[in-house]
Structure 1
Amino acid sequence: MPINIPSHLVGLSETEVLSAREKFGANQLEAGKKSTWLSLLLDILKEPMLILLFAISIIYVIIGDYGEALFMFLAIVAVSAISFYQDNRSKKALEALEKLNEPLSKVIRSGKLMEIPTHEIVVGDLLITEEGKMINADGRIVHSNDFSVNESALTGESLSVFKSSDADHNEVYSGTLAVSGLAVIAVDHVGKDTRLGKIGTSIAGIKEEASPLQLQIRKFVRTMAIIGIVIFLLVCAVNYYHTVDLLQSLLNGLTLAMSVLPEEIPVAFTTFMALGAWKLMREGVIIKRSSIVETLGSTTVICTDKTGTITENTMQLKYLYDYQLDKTYEEPDFGHPDLAQLIDYAMWSSEPVPFDPMEKTLHRIYQETQQQDQRKAFQLFHEYPLEGKPPMMTHLFQNENQKRIIASKGAPEVILQVADLPEEEKDRMRQLIKDFGGQGYRVLGVAKSNFAGDDFPEKQQDLPFEFLGFVVFYDPPKQGIQQVFEQIYAAGIKVKVITGDNTDTTRSIATQAGIQHAADAIEGKEVMGLSANQLQAVVEEKVLFTRMFPDAKLTVVNALKQQGEVVAMLGDGVNDGPALKAAHIGVAMGSKGTEIAKVAASLVITNDDLEKLIIGIAAGRRIYTNIKKAIQYIISIHIPIILTVSLPLFLGWVYPQIFTPVHVIFLELIMGPTCSIVYENEPMEKNTMLQKPRRMTDTFLNWKELSISIVQGLIITLGVLFIYQWNVQQGGSEEHTRAMVFTTLIFANILLSLTNRSFYYSLFESFKNKNWLLVGVTIATLLLLAGILYIPAMASFFNVTGLKISELAMAGLIAAVSVLWFEGYKFWRRRRGVRQ
């Protein structure tokens, strides 16, 4: 139902809007300093790999090897370009997400209601804010209904404050949240001139906390860097002892340091997370923090609200029960004269400007069935807001003849409790409520009062009430919701329903939606009365949590977290805010969700389709698995590079410098894109969503996984060193031996990137997962290798000779044996029935 704009509220004209924007500016805080090309370049040049390349280039210049120096400078350009490309992809992905996070605001301009981007609000605008919305400018209230605000963002005080057009309570501030009701605000300050702007608080200024996976990766990279420094010093010392040549010793040491440094890993992590968030955005899932993608895949429990999450939130009016006649009516009989009083008081107990779906329906039914529309004749002069456990609300209206209407509605239990009815009648009504609830209907009780005088009691429950009847709504489960829950259960994820509705209605809807063990239910007041040990047992056992209020929802979420569960909380209402904020993953509904829910959540589903959460969890599992594959690939391929550079030197073999920096940087230029681009694009393996969630406490590589990667690397090293010694025994020159070793390592690298696509399924099974980037990188690598071996200028530069077909076959065979033994290991795992 559209908002009825009071006639005296006209707002600014288009000319006045332009003038205000010119004079006071846009509704934006100062933009952060934009990165210049120079600062971006300096950031890239601080990378350890580039510092090593610069050092090697300078040494080549000093010793007069200008060709090698030029190649190193070209390598610097190539590495910088790859880094810039990756940074740019990540940055653009995150910028796209930020744009989607800007909310729209309702304003009155030239007497018309319109929605505009929040940054377009100007001083003098009439801004409309309602329950669940963030206030986006400073101003004064000029019109309100039952309006309260949470100002904790500015004051730290968590309790809501009621505000009205009264001079003492009419100021509201940007960054605060409307908890109830509706208000029209005349905007006084925007952007940096708001109280929030002066404090300098902005989301951009909050430092994002590192995730457990980020911390583990940083620790791993730091450890490898320390090992690299130690080996660098050791190689320098050994080489200087043998040659007494400082520059050559430094060159060898830097070559090895370059081979040890796993700089691809942090780049890969950033790329995976940013692009993962961007891909989910295209699916209609907005991720506020890219690191949440990693957490998604670990979800073990989904706590979901009922209304608007499991159900459509359409609130169709199904029945009207009139107590005086003891009769239930359904459409098309709502226009029956006997129902006039019940419909009247159900509407008057709603907000004059409704925003709740049920209240919008009641206003519509009133408009369609009543002979005379009295809404403009009566003014709200006193109100009791929605409160209590379970809640009720009461509105007092009066016309110019001082005729009063005092209407109340709320949870049927509380309306019966305050109504003047015999106890046996109350019991009869409770059975009727139970019958309606058992069919999945949502029931509200309606009552009237005839209180005279102006000395109103402090609590609405103390007014004398006459019970009128029930309004009965049906909010059906969403289409396809059963299949969604089937997928959730198949993925090993538990489901809890946490709702403010009553037990019977919730149980019926949950059963229709396909939620398992829906008989297990407990109410919010019982939850709050439990001891810590009892609470732990209850949250483990129960599935339905009904008549829940914000504190009770928060208590359940925290109890689940204490049990080690990774909790995703789904909600769309104001009362879901605390639980959304506390959960590992707060999920808000983007279409019908309140802004409070969206602000508190870390993830927003734009079209309210719960199936999008499954897509998010699948993406989280895919990304986490692919990060592990990328890191295991990097560990495995670095080992043969490190040992091929160092062992001939330490063991005094005939060709101690089989690899120079040129060869190592070529390998690095292949490994970087393979790690961070190719594996990021790797599709999800089959049956991934049939596995149990991983535990958050798991390290990204356990000892078993790490040992597999080390063994892979060592066996490749054996193959490479075997080809070295075999070629030497055949009387091969240094250039020919280098060509055989280099080619074998390139072939091994390609095969490793293929076999490590899955640590469970066979290489041939993995080919079913199309990844054109992998094909592209493989072809490019083989073409470059062919150029190095068979183009004289390139062969001379890399100090290699061309290889015969038989020698290429030999290198390929050794590489295949060194890598493809792993296929046998995977086959053995599958035969043993070891799960992926």
Structure 2
Amino acid sequence: MTDRVNTDLPQQLSPTDWHTLTPGQVEQMLQTGRGGLAQEEARQRLTKYGFNRLAPPKKRGPLLRFLLQFHNLLLYVMMGAAVITASLGYWIDTGVLMMAVVLNAIIGFIQEGKAESALDAIRDMLSPHATVIRDGQHHDIDAGDLVPGDMVALVSGDRVPADLRLINVRDLRIEEAALTGESLPVEKNTETAEPDTPLGDRYGMAYSGTLVIYGKAVGVVVATGAQTELGKINQMLSEIRNLATPLLRKVDYFARQLAFFILGLSALTFVLGTLWRGHSPQDMFMMVVALTASAIPEGLPAIMTVTLALGVRRMARRNAIVRLLPAVEALGSVTVICSDKTGTLTRNEMTVQRIICAEHRVNVEGVGYEPSGELCIDGRCITAAEYPELALAIRAGVLCNDARLLNEEGRWWVEGDPTEGALLVLGAKAGLTLNEPNENAWPRIDAIPFESQHRFMATYHCDSQQEPWIFVKGAPERILDMCRTQLGSNGEQELDVDYWRRMSNDMAAQGLRLLALACKRSAPKSDLLDHNDMESDFVMIALLGIMDPPREEAVQAVRECHRAGIRVKMITGDHVETARAIGEKLNIGVGKPALTGAEVAVMDDETLRNVAMEVDVFARAAPEHKLRLVQALQESGQVVAMTGDGVNDAPALKCADVGVAMGMKGTEAAKEASDMVLADDNFATIASAVREGRAVYDNLKKFILFMLPTNGGEVLVVIAAILFELTLPLTPAQVLWINMATSGTLGLALAFEPAERGIMDRRPRPPGEALLSGFFIWRVLMVSVIIMIGALGVFLWELNAGTSLEVARTMAVNIVVVCEVFYLFNSRFILKSVLSREGLTGNRYILLAVAACIPLQLAYTYLPIMQTIFNSASLSLLEWGKVLAAGLLLFLLAELEKFIVRRTGLAARLGLG
């Protein structure tokens, strides 16, 4: 106990060196003792080091955050369109445009607020209270009041309140999966470790936020608040900036280029019209307004939102809950998926996979805690009763066990140690459970619990004949030392140590965790078990190979991702042998080396970029290693999705282009840092979500390929009229009618397009691919010119024939709209012909949109009030025939262009086939 107030402690204690020091050295450095600090000393240190809490990050105020949502060029274009419509007096159109702008800003504001709550989720992981030893007495205090040098007592069920150097341990096992990715509880001791030892192998340390599941211990606080490992993750999260998704980056670039083009074209047209053609500035201003109104794609933000929202709904049906709207498309863009292993690719449910007896090697089918699966020898299903040594091994695993196998509403789960749970599941598969009458005939009389220094657990039973049995399970090398014989089909045999060691090495090489079982048919020397009873004369029964197996559906999902050209990389905190073995079962990293976090740590950024592209399995990875790997892949031009469930995954989840958290077993920190949550914790759901994401991007491209030519046709009509001193075929008000009443209505139907066949057989599109390729620009120009020729040609023809200006303009407006209707069907498939039943009727929303457009155009043409507002006029049947002929001509020419591109092989060369 320290009685004086110490002022010699350093301001910053190193967070990395404590595991290298002995308990005595740590106590000396922190000037504490087994009786803990004095209360006055603790108060002084609290003033010096601060509370054991994670400081909240600096946040922008809600008003500023909301206003910054408008700092987007696409929204500037939208607001510019609203100003134009307002200047023309069309206040309804202005209201619609501004409503779309505000809606986009509100969505962005909500998304940003949700992302910031990831930091709050990590802070909530801190333990609310702690049992501390001060002045030699135990006190229950607020964990926020802990200081370096405090002695903390831990018992089963406690959440570790700060980073501790353990100084006294008894059978301590801590669940660290959320922090390190280790799939099993870690057995702790007081031993030192090398400076570069990975976090998961520092057995003499207990880290803030992890959970004690068994045993008890005393540790000295070596780090609090931001200095803890949990605090470092919190700091990493706060330093990661939110990256725009590929779609948002492309749309922002597209909007910027389009805005500059529209402004430049408008300015050039104004100058040419006034200086070259001699038009008055007032007339040219109205013409430029018409030109700008026709060029601005008012419907793009709305259609983006609707298309993404529909993708969210479809993904939700497949158990993929999207938290951030742009993540829908971003997932369809990914070129690399970095997946955590435990609980994501695997079930996080330990399963006995192999049983090695003296004369038989048994494979165990079935995965997870559900007790279904056969026992097989050489592919032949057997029953345990056929092989006495096998039956005894299974019985030993069930009896020498403290776990419980439970079933709640059809969901099987284990209460207790996962490895012991695997033995209960094995027993249930073989028909042995503690609840059956024959098992009650083997009551437990005494037990020696597992202790890390002895590496075994033993139980004492009597069978139905009142014969004594001692069963023992533990580390193979320790159990072999206790055995004199082994059990074969004909009874006890001479122990073949080499055989068991060879089998151990073979199974360890496959990434299996090993457990040996032995027995002794005798009573303890006294009434109760003692360690003296464990020295010798045991019979080796079997060797078990246990693994957290891959999800069966994950194997198929990885195969589908590979077929779609997506690289899958496993980044886990588990041991390298286990990671490599699981990777081979999943076909990840086969024939390639596996790297550890320690190896990643010593690489510079350039080396890591090269290695990250070549290696697919990374083991013993700490949070900073996962984050660096994701960043290295992004710097190599990859679009990265990261999956995970632990707080250790949160920084990488936030940094990735798409962060995917597990919904059932994931921590709140992981969920809050993610863009998407898998409701079923199933990696296979990602493959389904990728398919939906690709369909969303396809639909956005189809909409843009529909929207730009229709706007482009209007632009060319106006420009041609200005340059050739023609009467303006479309007034600004008529252009706005086309854009708002018809183009948006028709284009919206493309958001409902189903995914095309073979969408998952494509390679991922290159991350740097422009939203509009050269081929798409050609398509836009071709269709724009056809629309311009049709509308302007008929307009001039009618004027020359003596038709009134109002009728000629009404025909021009209807030609543009009818061309849009026909071209909408062309747009269903970028290259495939729509001249089929599927092409013409496969999307009922297109039929509904056309059905809605027809009465709108009839109203525009024939209603007196519309004629007054837009200067339209009624058309005859002959005039309607000319309008429909122009639309049909566009439809046939567009299909002819597709046919030529397919037949000449241009589709494959352009990467479209």
Specify the TM-score bucket, using the shorter chain as the normaliser: 0.5 to 0.7
**Among 748, 763, 773, the residue aligned to 2:819:** 748
2:418 is equivalent to residue 357 of structure 1: yes
- Is this contact kept in 1: 2:356–2:503, CA < 8 A? no
1:96-107 superposed matches below 5 A: none
The match for 2:93 is: 75
- Residue 895 of structure 2: SS of its match in structure 1? helix
**Among 803, 823, 826, the residue aligned to 2:895:** 823
Structure 1 residues 622-646: Cα deviation after superposition (integer angstroms, max 9, x where no partner): 1111121222222211211112122
- Residue 823 of structure 1: SS of its match in structure 2? helix
- Is this contact kept in 2: 1:550–1:579, CA < 8 A? no
2:564 is equivalent to residue 471 of structure 1: no
Moved more, 244-253 or 215-224: 244-253
Structure 1 residues 504-544: Cα deviation after superposition (integer angstroms, max 9, x where no partner): 99769956xxx56996364556994999999999988887x
For the residues of structure 2 that align with 1:503 and 1:163, how far apart are their CA atoms?
18
2:716 is equivalent to residue 682 of structure 1: no
The match for 1:809 is: 881
1:821 Cα deviation after fit: 0.8
**Shift in alpha-carbon separation, 1:542–1:33, aligned structure 2, 3 A:** closer
2:500 is equivalent to residue 433 of structure 1: no
2:329 is equivalent to residue 294 of structure 1: yes
User: Quick one: which amino acid aligns to residue 315 of structure 2?
Assistant: L
**Shift in alpha-carbon separation, 1:601–1:336, aligned structure 2, 3 A:** same
2:251 is equivalent to residue 217 of structure 1: yes
Structure 1 residues 766-797: Cα deviation after superposition (integer angstroms, max 9, x where no partner): 53674343333222222111111112231232
2:767 is equivalent to residue 696 of structure 1: yes
The match for 1:230 is: 264
Structure 1 residues 415-457: Cα deviation after superposition (integer angstroms, max 9, x where no partner): 8999999xx977533431366579x893324699xxxxxxxxx
Structure 1 residues 42-80: Cα deviation after superposition (integer angstroms, max 9, x where no partner): 99998544545545644x6xxxxxxxx3xx122223434
The match for 2:868 is: 796
For the residues of structure 1 that align with 2:341 and 2:176, how far apart are their CA atoms?
25
- Is this contact kept in 2: 1:259–1:642, CA < 8 A? yes
User: Quick one: which amino acid aligns to residue 640 of structure 1?
Assistant: G
2:694 is equivalent to residue 621 of structure 1: yes
1:232 Cα deviation after fit: 3.0
- Residue 692 of structure 2: SS of its match in structure 1? helix
Q: Percent identity?
A: 22
**Shift in alpha-carbon separation, 1:760–1:595, aligned structure 2, 3 A:** same
- Residue 659 of structure 1: SS of its match in structure 2? coil
User: Quick one: which amino acid aligns to residue 720 of structure 1?
Assistant: A
**Shift in alpha-carbon separation, 1:102–1:699, aligned structure 2, 3 A:** same
- Residue 209 of structure 1: SS of its match in structure 2? coil
Structure 1 residues 589-639: Cα deviation after superposition (integer angstroms, max 9, x where no partner): 433456676567554322133331121110111111112122222221121
**Shift in alpha-carbon separation, 1:485–1:373, aligned structure 2, 3 A:** farther
**Shift in alpha-carbon separation, 1:220–1:660, aligned structure 2, 3 A:** same
- Residue 751 of structure 2: SS of its match in structure 1? coil
For the residues of structure 2 that align with 1:476 and 1:139, how far apart are their CA atoms?
31
2:174 is equivalent to residue 146 of structure 1: yes
The match for 1:608 is: 681
User: Quick one: which amino acid aligns to residue 851 of structure 2?
Assistant: I
Moved more, 482-491 or 359-368: 359-368
User: Quick one: which amino acid aligns to residue 815 of structure 1?
Assistant: G
1:181 Cα deviation after fit: 5.7
Structure 1 residues 3-38: Cα deviation after superposition (integer angstroms, max 9, x where no partner): xxxxxxxxxxxxxxxxxxxxxxxxx999997789x9
- Is this contact kept in 2: 1:283–1:612, CA < 8 A? yes
The match for 1:462 is: none
- Is this contact kept in 2: 1:658–1:738, CA < 8 A? yes
1:96 Cα deviation after fit: 11
**Among 635, 638, 643, the residue aligned to 2:716:** 643
For the residues of structure 2 that align with 1:281 and 1:516, how far apart are their CA atoms?
28
1:2-81 superposed matches below 5 A: 48-55=77-84, 57-58=86-87, 69=89, 72-81=90-99
The match for 1:726 is: 797
- Is this contact kept in 2: 1:280–1:286, CA < 8 A? yes
Structure 1 residues 91-123: Cα deviation after superposition (integer angstroms, max 9, x where no partner): 8999999999998999999xxxxxxxxxxxxx9
- Is this contact kept in 2: 1:288–1:602, CA < 8 A? yes
For the residues of structure 2 that align with 1:137 and 1:287, how far apart are their CA atoms?
33
User: Quick one: which amino acid aligns to residue 667 of structure 1?
Assistant: I
1:730 Cα deviation after fit: 1.5
For the residues of structure 2 that align with 1:43 and 1:526, how far apart are their CA atoms?
40
2:254 is equivalent to residue 249 of structure 1: no
1:813 Cα deviation after fit: 0.9
User: Quick one: which amino acid aligns to residue 664 of structure 1?
Assistant: V
**Shift in alpha-carbon separation, 1:736–1:595, aligned structure 2, 3 A:** closer
**Shift in alpha-carbon separation, 1:47–1:698, aligned structure 2, 3 A:** closer
- Is this contact kept in 2: 1:271–1:676, CA < 8 A? no
- Is this contact kept in 2: 1:747–1:815, CA < 8 A? yes
User: Quick one: which amino acid aligns to residue 328 of structure 2?
Assistant: V
1:383-422 superposed matches below 5 A: none
The match for 1:738 is: 809
The match for 2:513 is: 443
Structure 1 residues 234-253: Cα deviation after superposition (integer angstroms, max 9, x where no partner): 44445556677554433222
1:262 Cα deviation after fit: 2.9
User: Quick one: which amino acid aligns to residue 895 of structure 2?
Assistant: E
CA RMSD of aligned residues (A): 6.3
**Shift in alpha-carbon separation, 1:96–1:831, aligned structure 2, 3 A:** farther
1:230 Cα deviation after fit: 2.8
For the residues of structure 2 that align with 1:437 and 1:138, how far apart are their CA atoms?
34
**Shift in alpha-carbon separation, 1:752–1:331, aligned structure 2, 3 A:** same
User: Quick one: which amino acid aligns to residue 815 of structure 2?
Assistant: T
1:165-176 superposed matches below 5 A: none
The match for 2:210 is: 178
**Shift in alpha-carbon separation, 1:355–1:564, aligned structure 2, 3 A:** farther
User: Quick one: which amino acid aligns to residue 635 of structure 1?
Assistant: L
2:780 is equivalent to residue 780 of structure 1: no
**Shift in alpha-carbon separation, 1:570–1:233, aligned structure 2, 3 A:** closer
Structure 1 residues 329-350: Cα deviation after superposition (integer angstroms, max 9, x where no partner): 99677998889998888869xx
**Shift in alpha-carbon separation, 1:415–1:587, aligned structure 2, 3 A:** farther
Moved more, 520-529 or 306-315: 520-529
For the residues of structure 2 that align with 1:673 and 1:597, how far apart are their CA atoms?
39
1:707 Cα deviation after fit: 2.1
Q: Structure 2: state its 5+ residue gaps.
A: 1-55, 129-141, 145-153, 181-195, 217-229, 363-374, 376-382, 404-413, 459-471, 485-494, 519-537
For the residues of structure 2 that align with 1:683 and 1:267, how far apart are their CA atoms?
19
For the residues of structure 2 that align with 1:92 and 1:582, how far apart are their CA atoms?
19
Q: What TM-score does the superposition give when structure 1 sets the normalisation length?
A: 0.66
- Residue 513 of structure 2: SS of its match in structure 1? strand
For the residues of structure 1 that align with 2:82 and 2:583, how far apart are their CA atoms?
64
- Residue 146 of structure 1: SS of its match in structure 2? strand
The match for 1:189 is: none
The match for 1:458 is: none
The match for 2:564 is: 491
User: Quick one: which amino acid aligns to residue 210 of structure 1?
Assistant: A
For the residues of structure 2 that align with 1:671 and 1:135, how far apart are their CA atoms?
61
Moved more, 808-817 or 589-598: 589-598
Q: How many residues align?
A: 712
- Residue 604 of structure 1: SS of its match in structure 2? strand
- Is this contact kept in 1: 2:310–2:752, CA < 8 A? no
